[in-house]
Amino acid sequence: MAVNPESVAAATASAAAAVSMEGERHEQAIDQADAITFKVVFKKQTNNITMGKSQLVGELKDRAHDLTGVPVSMMKLMFKGMLKDNSKTLAEVGIGNGAKLMVVGSTIEQVLGVTAPVDTSANASATSATGTKKTKLCESEKHKKIIAKGKPDDVLVGIRGQNDPLPAQPLTGMVNSINGKVRLTFKLEQDELWIGTKVRTDKIPMGQIQSILAEPIDGHEEYHLMGLQLGTTEHSRYWVYWVPSQYVRAIKSTVLGQ
């Protein structure tokens, strides 16, 4: 019987894709004798995971993060109590076939409350007769509403056209997208940015911040509007208003290493 080259190629490509996907799910090959399959539950979501019982709790937390979006630094992984020691193997903590684990925690979007619908005008392009130009952030309705409330009385003094190093004390007096007071503390020894409000302080690993948008506020160019990209979607951008302009470059340099 003649062999169709196209069918063989398709079958080969399909097999290669399957192997690639399997490789993405498992960072290392698992010996069949070592493999265990168990459930990880997060809210209403249940995932079946296969790992080696000689793999570490820390590796399991990385897998749980990929599945749930809960940062490892904010995650509580529960199995007969909270799993704290990342250096122990799954066998050592008693995880076997059919075990059921629970992830407790919140995604970045949930933690910071940036779940409002996307305002596409924040980064939309306005087409003119001469071509396409990017709309200024301050022209977005959601930003206009916050800026229109005026500069906070206790905001730090802003200086236009100057670049200063970050002060030793936190940056205070700013507000977020719900007009709540915000302070930014740069914990260099821990490589974390602490975002504090009146009710909580969220400790964000700097490596988790993917990008920073910043733009002078119209009519108040000594201050900036700043967006911290904490996740992969527009929903995960955390907006801070009235950031003193002289610290913008230092913030980007400190957080992003630019």
Question: CA distances (Å), 176 to each of 46, 82, 172, 216, in order?
Answer: 34, 33, 12, 16
CA dist., res. 243 & res. 256, Å (int): 17
Over residues 62-85, the pLDDT tens digits come to 888 888 888 887 888 999 888 989
Helices vs strands, H then E, count in the chain: 5, 13
Residues 6 or more apart whose CB falls under 8 angstroms from that of 117 comprise none
pLDDT exceeds cutoff 70 at 142: yes
> What average pLDDT is seen over the chain?
81
Task: Please say whether the beta carbons of 227 and 217 come within 8 A.
Answer: no
Quick one: pLDDT band at residue 7, thresholds 50, 70, 90? very low
State which H helix or E strand residue 78 sits in.
strand 76-78
Q: Which among 108-117, 183-192, 225-234 has the top mean pLDDT? A: 183-192
Task: Please say whether the beta carbons of 42 and 102 come within 8 A.
Answer: yes
pLDDT exceeds cutoff 80 at 224: yes
CA dist., res. 173 & res. 129, Å (int): 41
Residue 42 forms beta bridges with which residues?
A: 45
Quick one: pLDDT band at residue 207, thresholds 50, 70, 90? confident
Over residues 146-156, the pLDDT tens digits come to 999 999 999 99
Percent of the chain exceeding pLDDT 90 equals: 45
pTM of structure: 0.54
Percent of the chain exceeding pLDDT 70 equals: 77
CA dist., res. 189 & res. 70, Å (int): 23
| Three-state DSSP class for residue 35 | strand
CA dist., res. 152 & res. 8, Å (int): 68
pLDDT of residue 181: 94
pLDDT of residue 75: 86
Average pLDDT score over residue span 46-73: 88
pLDDT of residue 122: 43
pLDDT of residue 232: 76
pLDDT exceeds cutoff 80 at 16: no
Higher pLDDT, 88 or 27: 88
Where in 122-253 does DSSP place strands (E)? Answer: 125-128, 131-134, 171-176, 181-187, 192-196, 201-205, 211-217, 220-229, 237-244
CA dist., res. 63 & res. 187, Å (int): 27
pLDDT exceeds cutoff 90 at 244: yes
